A and B are shown apart, each in its own frame.
Chain A
Amino acid sequence: MTFLAPVFLLVAGIAAAGAVLLHLIARDRPPRAPLPTARFVPSRTSLAATWAPHPTDRWLLLLRVLLLLLAGAAFARPVLEPDRRPTVRIVALDRSRAVADAGAARDSAAALLASGGALVLFDSVARIVEGSPLDTLAMLSIDSIGSTHPSDSAAAIHAGGARGLLSAALLAAARAAGAMGDEADSLELVIVSPITAEEIDDATLAIRAEWNGRIRLVRVEAAPSESGERRPIEIRAPANDALSAAFALLGTRAVSESRVRVVRGAVQNEDSSFATSGGVLVAWPGDPALLGWIARAVTDTVGAVMAAERVQGIATGFTPPPHEALLIAPFERRFTAAVSGAAGQNEIVVARWVDGEPAGIEHPMGAGCIREIAIPIEERGDLALRPELGDLLLAVAAPCGGARSFVPASGEIRAALAGSGALRIATRPPPARAAVPPLVPWLLGAALILALLELLLRAVPGRTARPSPS
């Protein structure tokens, strides 16, 4: 509730205090005392004013105080509408692998949300946080594995391993802005992110243009682009496995920034633990049915498969490390990927048949990921000897989410993201106020009723002879 003319509340308060003060003046017969010459006292007045220890005539006082307060409230013109703040803030917090210090990013977001607002958590997907943003931030811990925080928003987000997408963050922020149109006149979007090149794709600036207002960029430290240590890729395969031979031919090239294990058979529990602890598990069985892939009704042949891990977006002046592979061979495509459930939106296609159908899919698993590869490698033939297969191996052995290249986005891109000018105006303007707020007639009516009661109470016969202090 707000008051259009609050000064009348002050006036009503002062008047009510005055009424209380007047009721402390008791006009009553003073104490009797003998005086033989009383006959010479004028018989004009029979009451004298004295200070009463307690307010006199409390019911009448109560009526008068309520009457004054109601009248004051009516003149103050109260309106029942939700408070609109001048500005409400939407904070998009980057939880992707590009963030070096998730705690610092979280603290920055918490400080920005201290006065309220909305929180959007994003990496490869963006989610608007339900409930208290500060509570969610308090429970988030990007580095915790299997954390027990109750927030379904945080639990549903793959913690820290996915690539960030500013496009997703901007879209989520726009959805949040639409829901907050009634709360404020302006909306401020703050992006807490290292703003790396890998987080910007071809649609980012176009989506940003839809946000009609400036955006504040709070840059946090980006993670190092390379982990430094390159480890050899493990492979567990039967003897004489063609893929093993291809790995052997890679020689010193069979290394990766992450811990990578290629499994040619069924995935064991130990393999799952390897993935959840941050490793890249490449499950490349001879029979993709082991991975839950669905056998095609009709086996077809497809002439090529390609796999690439690319840094998407406009990254001028930067050449991503080439881990692209195009393998042309008479493959028999016997399986197709199963339709995933709730986790489908976190899947990344790491290899495609030439017609675009996924040949390999990455699923996040704990701190790492599992890559299901359904590319048949024949024992016969020279496929294992072809360098393209090695390239394919290296492409599917890339770190979870692709190569970790956390080069900051260029200044031009950052300037384009931030924009200039005023903040975004709330989508819904405040409703027009009526000249006479609807509460006013009710308050005046109540005050009138109290005034009538006050008159009746004063006129009640048998009340003690206490004329009105007014």
Chain B
Amino acid sequence: MSRAGEYGELLDAVRGIRWPARRPIPGALPGAHHSRMRGVAPEFAEYRPYRQGDDPRRLDWRVLARTDRAVLRLSTDRAVLPTTLVVDASASMAFPLDTLGKYACARRLAVALGAVAHAQHDPVGVIIATGTGVRALPPRSRRGVVGEIAQAVDVGAGGGGSSFVEALRRAMSSDRVVLLTDFLGDAEPLLAAVRAYVARGGDAHAVHVVAREELDPPARAITAVDPEDARIARTLAPPTRAEYVEKFARWREELAREWRGAGAAFTMVVDDESPAHAVRRIVSASMAPVR
């Protein structure tokens, strides 16, 4: 299936999905998301007593007539949520070698999430962190940005460790950042950066991309080699397989706990999961209360 066909089906599957902000955003531009600003939008939010200097045209005359109280009618403003998708294209994402399943999963999620955000008139962009550097597409809300994102993520994965932390820092100017990575790089700096971002009011989403072969490696004995660090070469054989599975599971749980504790939404996606289904899970995770 060609990329166009592949993305076409995916975009059809995610049409209509709403991806609200996890908390009110400080944005001034009108959009789909709740804004911390109170304005004159039709959606009633609250009454405020009239103060000297308020526009008298905003008085609620009905309330005044009924209660002889001069109050102003306030409503919730909606704002746009610039979203940046940060895609990890390091060597560890180029796994399995024959299908590049992890990166394929990450790029499909990036295109799908970009489409969902764009449908809500949110500016959306993408930053791809490869082994050789960072390739960025700033958030835009014009037509065709999803196609541009699709073209951008087609760069492919590989080439050693990525500058993912740098890519994240560049993305933190957006109000929403989505990390599509396997978290096998510099975990601590990344977590620290996200903590700071969330503390500043940013909306962080962490999508942990995992390959099925990493969860359930083949039974035959192999010398497992880390593609980003060839010094790590260990024998994965039936006697050690169970221990590997347990250690990896524990690490995933710890990872999820840390990231959620840092205030990010955390979702694990296996590369053989349906992208549309994964998008729904990612989006629903953003509806969880922010800690």
Q: Which of B83-121 contact A (CB under 8 A)?
A: 91-93, 95, 97, 102
Is A42 part of the contact surface with B, judged by Cβ < 8 Å? yes
Q: In the assembly, what is the distance between CA of A454 and CA of B119, in Å?
A: 76
Q: Which of A2-44 contact B (CB under 8 A)?
A: 29-44
The number of chain B residues with a CB under 8 A from chain A is 34
* Pick from A29, A32, A44, A50: contact of B240, CB under 8 Å: A44
Chain B residues, Cβ within 8 Å of A33: 222-225
Question: B-facing mask of A451-470, CB < 8 A → 1, else 0?
Answer: 00000000000000000000
Is B239 part of the contact surface with A, judged by Cβ < 8 Å? yes
* Pick from B91, B102, B235: contact of A45, CB under 8 Å: B235
Is A47 part of the contact surface with B, judged by Cβ < 8 Å? yes
Whether A34 lies near B95 (C-beta < 8 A) is yes
Chain B residues, Cβ within 8 Å of A37: 184, 214, 224, 244, 248
Whether B184 lies near A36 (C-beta < 8 A) is yes
Q: In the assembly, what is the distance between CA of A35 and CA of B182, in Å?
A: 12
- A50's closest neighbor in chain B, by CB? B221
Q: A38-B233, A42-B234, A42-B244 in contact; A32/B223 too (CB < 8 A)?
A: yes
Tell which of B220, B234, B240, B248 has the most Cβ of chain A within 10 Å: B234
Is A48 part of the contact surface with B, judged by Cβ < 8 Å? yes
Q: Is the interface of B mostly helix, strand, loop or mixed?
A: mixed
Whole-angstrom distance between the Cβ of A35 and the nearest chain B Cβ: 4
Q: A30-B237, A32-B233, A48-B237 in contact; A40/B222 too (CB < 8 A)?
A: no
Question: B-facing mask of A35-66, CB < 8 A → 1, else 0?
Answer: 11111111111111010000000000000000
Whole-angstrom distance between the Cβ of B264 and the nearest chain A Cβ: 21
* Pick from A29, A36, A39, A44: contact of B223, CB under 8 Å: A29
Q: Which of B180-217 contact A (CB under 8 A)?
A: 182, 184, 211, 213-214, 217
Tell which of B91, B222, B248 has the most Cβ of chain A within 10 Å: B222
Is B9 part of the contact surface with A, judged by Cβ < 8 Å? no
Whether A29 lies near B235 (C-beta < 8 A) is yes
- B93's closest neighbor in chain A, by CB? A36
Tell which of A30, A36, A45, A48 has the most Cβ of chain B within 10 Å: A36
Chain B residues, Cβ within 8 Å of A31: 222-223
Q: In the assembly, what is the distance between CA of A90 and CA of B237, in Å?
A: 73
Q: In the assembly, what is the distance between CA of A48 and CA of B239, in Å?
A: 9
- Of the A-B pairs whose beta carbons lie under 8 Å apart in the complex, a sample of 9, sorted by A's number, is A30-B220, A30-B235, A33-B225, A35-B213, A37-B214, A37-B224, A41-B236, A45-B235, A50-B221
Query: 19 more A-B contacts (CB under 8 A) besides A31-B223, A33-B225, A41-B244?
Result: A30-B235, A33-B222, A34-B226, A35-B225, A36-B93, A36-B95, A36-B102, A36-B182, A37-B224, A38-B233, A38-B234, A40-B248, A41-B236, A42-B234, A42-B244, A45-B235, A45-B237, A48-B235, A48-B237
